[in-house]
Amino acid sequence: MHANLIGLGALILVAGLLARFGRRMGLPTVPFFMLAGILLGPSTGGPVAFEHPEDLDILALFGLVVLLFHLGLEFPVEQVLGSGKRLYIAAGAYIGINISAGLGLGFALGWGAKEAFVIAGAVGISSSAIATKLLIEMRRLANAETPVILGIIVIEDLFLALYLALLSPILSGASSAGELLLRIGISFGYLAVLFGVARWGAKWIGKVLDSREDELVAIIMIGLVVLVAGISAEIGVSDAIGALMIGLVVARTSIRERAERIAVPLRDVFAAIFFIAFGTSIDVGEIGSVAVPVLIAVGMTVVTNVTAGLITARLFGLNQRGAANVGLTVLGRGEFSLILATLAIGAGLDERVGPFIALYVLILAVLAPILAANSKYLARIIPDRLLHDRWRYVREETISTACTHLDRINITETDEDECQECVELGDTWVQLRMCLTCGQVACCDDSKNKHATAHYEDSRHPLIRSLQEGDGWQYCYDDQTLVREPAGSSRS
């Protein structure tokens, strides 16, 4: 047996070092793995680590399988099912806009219908890993829009499974429409069977996998995962979906946490090899010929994402800052786009698809963190009217959500109907205001004692609302602005 260990080692080492260099500048890792593959691959000048990239195939395929297995394993079923209808609408809008724009672009390029479907997915489905890392690094975990962003990318992961189920039959080269429909039917039927196993059969799978020794759990689990992925590929559903679905199954067994712990290092190493292997298949000479379509695609992605961000913000009552953050955080493209590119290469589609997606992912990898970090500039130019469907006026002022203290609202209702301090003094008042942080009821500024403002000066609780029947406005002392109640805040 002869294996090119020197080449493999060099590739992985260079990929790791490149990615470390990128991380120092806050860039995602996946594009750097791919870049290592491109630089050391056979089609690029300079040192070549692998003369025959196909020698990497089995390792790369294993990487793809563990990557998707881990995705399924980590999929937060309960959190997604527990989230409201609004999140599904927002995610639906996000996916709908991005996929249809991608499909439009794909057909406009004129490379073919199959190619258009691959490009639609590659351009439309964002990288959950990149978005999550960005949120942590930009210290935005406590922001109001963050649960929404995470909800959207998680639903996108699920959409990926459905998209793959649709794409594999399309790529399989059915000769007639009937055959294509049959294959799509088989694909979704198989998906339904695996959903059923996840729902009702997890207990039995758990019994098969469970062992006191981690070593045995790891081996039996990986064997099962690879087998299911292989069977899926054999049926004509992609191996990727099989791996994802078996991940969902294992996530419902008793060994979930151990499985996660075991899968993470495997995923890290072998998924990296998958991205490297994809890179080695890219011909740098081709990249020049796709530069213009890629730039158009990048521009389009920014526009569609910002649009989806505005729709989401409107749905959830987020302010400008939230809208800009939603639109620009979900911009990163990575693992899923590369999976689709690999599928395209495997199916022998137009040779430009691979370089197109490679360059697209690379550009967005650099652009996404920069844009996300500077979302405040976008926030400044979003007009109020895009975010509010209900304009309400209080005297001459419009009600806006530009206030940044909405998270200080703890209480909005009270039974109190007098200003306690005025009662004690024996005074009267004109109107009543309620502090939304501690619930204190006090008199307004037209009253003699101005207790509400006095309360703000004491406590620095920024928000009050009018208790006047039919008024329904809130005011922020800190921002000196009238505010609308945030529709997106869920308090428990």
Partner 1 sequence: MGKGVRIQELPGLGTRYDVDLHSSSGERVSIVVSRDGKRHLYVFTAVGDDPAAVLELTEEQARKVGAVLAGTFFSD
Task: Rule CB under 8 A: say whether 456 interacts with partner 1.
Answer: no
Tokens of 318: 């987020």
The answer to whether residue 153 forms part of the interface with partner 1 (CB under 8 A) is yes
- Binds partner 1 by CB under 8 A, chosen from 254, 289, 374, 410: 410
Q: Which of 462, 477, 482, 486 binds partner 1 (CB under 8 A)?
A: 462
For residue 75, state whether it binds partner 1 (rule: CB under 8 A): yes
Q: Which of residues 31, 63, 151, 369 is near partner 1 by CB under 8 A?
A: 151
| Residue closer to partner 1, measured from CB, 181 or 438 | 438
Sign for the CA dihedral angle at 281, 282, 284, 285 comes to positive
Whether the CB-CB separation of 155 and 239 falls below 8 Å is answered with: no
Triad 202, 206, 212: Cα angle to 5°: 165
Per-residue x/- mask for partner 1, residues 230 to 269, rule CB under 8 A?
Answer: ----------------------------------------
Neighbours of 180 (CB within 10 A): 15
Among 45, 46, 82, 383, binds partner 1 (CB under 8 A): 82
Binding mask 385-404 for partner 1 (x = CB under 8 A): -------------------x
Residue 189: how many CB atoms within 10 A of its CB?
13
Interface with partner 1 (CB under 8 A), residue total 36
Instruction: Decide if residue 414 touches partner 1 (CB under 8 A).
Output: no
User: Is 25 a residue that touches partner 1 (CB under 8 A)?
Assistant: no
Stretch that binds partner 1, among 2-10, 40-48, 94-102, 133-141 (CB under 8 A): 133-141
In the bound complex, what is the minimum distance in angstroms from residue 203's beta carbon to partner 1?
A: 23
Q: Which stretch binds partner 1 (CB under 8 A): 51-59, 119-127, 212-220, 405-413?
A: 405-413
Query: By C-beta, is 420 or 459 nearer to partner 1?
Result: 459
Q: Between residues 169 and 317, which has the closer beta carbon with respect to partner 1?
A: 317
Q: Verify binding: residue 132, partner 1, rule CB under 8 A.
A: yes
The residue ranges that bind partner 1 (CB under 8 A) are 74-76, 79-80, 82-83, 128, 132, 135-136, 139, 141-142, 146-147, 150-151, 153-154, 157, 321, 404, 407-408, 410, 438, 458-462, 478, 490-492
